[in-house]
Chain A
Amino acid sequence: MFSNRIPIAKMAAAVVVLSAVTCAIMLSINWNGAEDSTAAPKIDDLMNIAIVLSTVIFWIVMVALAYALHAFKVKPGDESDGEPIHGNTRLEIAWTLVPTVIVLFLGGYSWKVLDDIEQPADRQLTVDVFSQQYAWSFGYPGKEYAYSQGVLHVPVNRQIVFKMHAQDVIHSFWVPQWRIKKDNVPGITTTAIVTPTKTGTYQLICTELCGFGHASMRAKVVVEPEAKWEKWVAGLKEKVPTPFMVSVKQDTETNPEPLERVEAE
């Protein structure tokens, strides 16, 4: 090893200090906004772990580079070559294995998080999401054809299964404060699972390019106590469903299989 010729200890110290400072700053900032669903804190924790590891890696690279530039920058007029070092098997093995371990850890942890944010709970509530250029409408269970346009009402602290149907092109359902996003794909039904934990109003954003109206394809999301929500749904007067809604409904009743297929395991 070259450890006797490089101040490994000093450099390690520098990495630790710099990483500590950077992490302190990075973790104190709330990057993703309010955490208003059960998934949100889990995803943010995952992100923070990734941030910590990334910071360390970043500073390792930086410090290594900085020291090289400081120590091995050529002296003016020096035309000679560097030392003919062709490699070092130990080092090479090290920087193959260590990153492998790190990414496998990140992968495993992400897998775990993915599993429990998609864990089905009891007392699920299924809400249909109908998207088209450039508007959202939402169908609620119980009442035959009760649906709302441009505004989504859901109860708080209850797991909601969104069944998403797109009429024309691909749209995407995103509520940043819930951290949940899923494309609505024409021809199939996609699902997203959310458990809102705070009441309030949010914005539903379309995040898949769907034409000139893409930027303005938004909807209002209202999360309210369950009782209030039930009153609101009851208050929804029967509307004439769009042909699309009818077809979707029939489809799900007659043969759910083809509609569900893509999401199926």
Chain B
Amino acid sequence: MVAAFKRPGWYRALLGALIAAGLGVGLVVVLRSISGLSAFQSEQTGYPQVVVPLIMAPLGFLLGLGAFDYWLRWAFGLPTIPEDHAMHGAKSWKDYFKVNTDHKVIGIQYIVTTFFFFFVGGLMAMLIRAELAQPGTQIVGANTYNSLFSTHAVLMIFVFVIPVFAGIANYVLPLMIGAPDMAFPRLNALSFWLLPIAGLLFVGSFLAPGGAFDAGWTGYAPLSTGAPLGQSFFNLGVQFAGASSIATALNFLVTIITMRAPGMTFWRMPLLVWANLSTSLLVVAATPFIAGAQFMVLFDRIMHTNFFQFGAGGDVISYQHIFWFYSHPAVYIMILPGFGIISEVISTHARKPIFGYRLMALALIGIVVLSYSVWAHHMFVAGMFSWLRVPMMLTTLLIAVPTGIKIFSWLGTLYFGKIHTKSTAMLFALAFIVTFTIGGISGVMLGMVPFDIHVSDTYFIVAHIHFVLFGGSVFTIFAGIYHWFPKMTGRMYDEKLGRVHFWGTLLGTWGTFVPMHWVGMDGMPRRVADYAGQFGNWNLLISCFAFLLGAIQLVFLYNMIVSWRFGPKAEANPWRANSIEWLVSSPPPIYNFDEIPRVVGGPYEFGIPGARHAIMPGEGAEVPAAQPTVVGH
């Protein structure tokens, strides 16, 4: 028994969490009594004696789980056991609950965890729609409602869309560039385990006195600085999620730059790799800003600092500037990896090279650069410097150009191809082009200041959000999951159910989110539990489609679970694709390759007789030995 607590694992993790929490409480009591404050009396919003343990406990948990063992041994110069429980591969489902350094295992861990939170967030959306089905408040009160859409959005953004892309890339990216693993496998494992912590903090905030955080996913000050305890859960959860995605981004960048197979020049990288390269650039440089913003709110709440306290020289609007300087790039963090997925899927299933490959890659970089210069388009009516509106409008509109390049190039890729639509992945990819174009164009309309003055903070915004995030990001996620499902699980999914899921989702998305434009322009504000009777019918319709949309996701769930267990075995390359991950078995062998493959051509050389992207060792011309790796000490 004692041994069980010594060994890294769940026992030790829970113990660690408890001890750390205890230490946290102790720390607060000591510090407060030193500074002559009553040890436990909570200052209306602060609750330091809850917040500090909330910071410590997760660290204790990670320590106990064994996320740091190797590093600590190394740091103190002790002999490091090569495989100290940071094992590779997964023999049983139990191995997915350990600190595992195998990028393929971590990828699965990511995807399953994030989809869990997708369903939780979606269930909240269902509650939102049920409440909005009729005017007046029936199911939940105004407070709960505010908590619902806040947590809904936060779960969807911070623990679904952003990390699920990291998960998919985690699985396929090292394979694609011919690397045995990520550059920092242990850091990779750590970044994953930070994620459930963030998610649990978000969901757990419902247990806090005063209910879950309810200032919207934007958490504007001073509403958030004065909000009850739940808001702190948001502030902290974002820190964990942020740390996780920064670490993953570092990992991707280093992996892509230093671990490409011999012959894989930058201009031979699949566009998914390009997409994750640009996304990681955004994450590394932008995410610290939301960390900063939430730290400031937390300090205002707990230490009663004056960042946003207008009485004491604080600046209310500065929060929005700092927040959006992250959160606009964040929306591209939520779509660029999707662009990558779509490129892979379309070129594979149209059996044709990507149209204008280089311009596609450059467009990604263009979006990265531009997206740092548009944040204030979320603040056109916020009362910020009025001179900033027009420049921000122009940069905002210009982002349509690189994005357009991508849309048109995908269309160009289809022409003179051999389009296979039997795969659900391709269906989602094609539908993505349509829905995202609509969502993007409504975005361009929002970019036009005078129109935005009218529709800002109405359901028009909600419509835009969901067309780009559900019709955009989530469609690409579905496409990616279906596309690489055979590779990840070694089994085929059921295409018939896939089709049902696809058509249901498409219908549901349009039915739910198209009418939102109309009620918005007609005068229905967002973030309201109750609304004027004139919008009743539309909202009833919206809710019905929303329930369809939700129910259809259950088909997807069923398809994935059943196919994973019982689906027919998949061969190595069911889609006859070119990139390296399809050259190894499904699922790929542990350590991916016996020898690193050699890249001899572009990634999309369909239709060119004898053209190859990569050659596996053994086959074809014999492979020149790769230069020795630099291994740290």
The answer on direct contact between A and B (beta carbons under 8 Å) is yes
Chain A residues in contact with chain B, CB under 8 A? Answer: 2, 5-6, 31-33, 39, 42-43, 46-47, 50, 54, 57-58, 61-62, 64-65, 68-69, 72-74, 78-88, 91-92, 95-96, 99-100, 103-104, 106-107, 110-111, 113-114, 117, 164, 168-170, 172, 174, 176, 179-188, 190, 203, 205-216, 262-265
Contact between B450 and A114 (Cβ–Cβ < 8 Å)?
yes
CB-contacts of B413-465 with A (<8 A)? 414-421, 430, 433-434, 437-438, 441, 444-445, 448-451, 453-454, 456-458
Contact between A111 and B411 (Cβ–Cβ < 8 Å)?
no
Contact between A185 and B383 (Cβ–Cβ < 8 Å)?
yes
B617 interface residue (CB < 8 Å to A): no
Contact between B405 and A181 (Cβ–Cβ < 8 Å)?
no
Contact between B356 and A87 (Cβ–Cβ < 8 Å)?
yes
B143 interface residue (CB < 8 Å to A): yes
Pick the 4 closest A-B CB pairs, nearest first.
A187-B310, A82-B417, A82-B352, A190-B383
Say whether, besides A92-B359, A104-B397, A212-B146, A110 and B449 are in contact (CB < 8 Å). Answer: yes
Contact between B382 and A185 (Cβ–Cβ < 8 Å)?
yes
B607 interface residue (CB < 8 Å to A): yes
Contact between A263 and B386 (Cβ–Cβ < 8 Å)?
yes
Contact between B223 and A169 (Cβ–Cβ < 8 Å)?
yes
Contact between A64 and B411 (Cβ–Cβ < 8 Å)?
yes
Contact between A74 and B310 (Cβ–Cβ < 8 Å)?
no
**Chain B positions within 8 Å of A65 at CB level:** 411, 414, 430, 433-434
**Chain A positions within 8 Å of B405 at CB level:** 92, 95-96
Q: Is the interface of A mostly helix, strand, loop or mixed?
A: mixed
**Chain A positions within 8 Å of B411 at CB level:** 61, 64-65, 68
User: Chain B 301-319 against A: per-residue CB contact (8 Å), 1 yes, 0 no?
Assistant: 0000000001100111100
Contact between B522 and A31 (Cβ–Cβ < 8 Å)?
yes
Contact between A73 and B453 (Cβ–Cβ < 8 Å)?
no
B407 interface residue (CB < 8 Å to A): yes
Q: Mind listing 24 A-B residue pairs with CB under 8 Å? A: A2-B415, A32-B521, A43-B454, A50-B444, A50-B451, A57-B441, A61-B433, A68-B414, A72-B414, A84-B352, A84-B607, A88-B356, A91-B408, A92-B356, A95-B404, A107-B448, A110-B451, A111-B449, A114-B390, A188-B316, A188-B383, A262-B317, A262-B385, A265-B385
Max chain A Cβ within 10 angstroms of own Cβ: one of B353, B409, B420, B433: B353
B498 interface residue (CB < 8 Å to A): no
B194 interface residue (CB < 8 Å to A): no
B412 interface residue (CB < 8 Å to A): yes
Bound CA span A67–B196, Å: 45
Closest chain A residue to B411 by CB distance? A64
Q: Give the contacting residue for B606; candidates A84, A169, A179; CB below 8 A.
A: A84
Contact between A82 and B351 (Cβ–Cβ < 8 Å)?
yes
Q: Give the contacting residue for A168; candidates B146, B222, B397; CB below 8 A.
A: B222
Bound CA span A213–B580, Å: 56
Bound CA span A113–B416, Å: 44
How far does the Cβ of B522 sit from chain A's closest Cβ, in whole Å?
6
B518 interface residue (CB < 8 Å to A): yes
Max chain B Cβ within 10 angstroms of own Cβ: one of A42, A62, A99, A211: A99
**Chain B positions within 8 Å of A85 at CB level:** 352-353, 355, 415-416
**Chain B positions within 8 Å of A180 at CB level:** 453-454
B516 interface residue (CB < 8 Å to A): no
How far does the Cβ of B364 sit from chain A's closest Cβ, in whole Å?
14
Q: Give the contacting residue for A212; candidates B142, B317, B384; CB below 8 A.
A: B142
Contact between A209 and B215 (Cβ–Cβ < 8 Å)?
yes
Bound CA span A78–B527, Å: 52
Contact between B390 and A176 (Cβ–Cβ < 8 Å)?
no
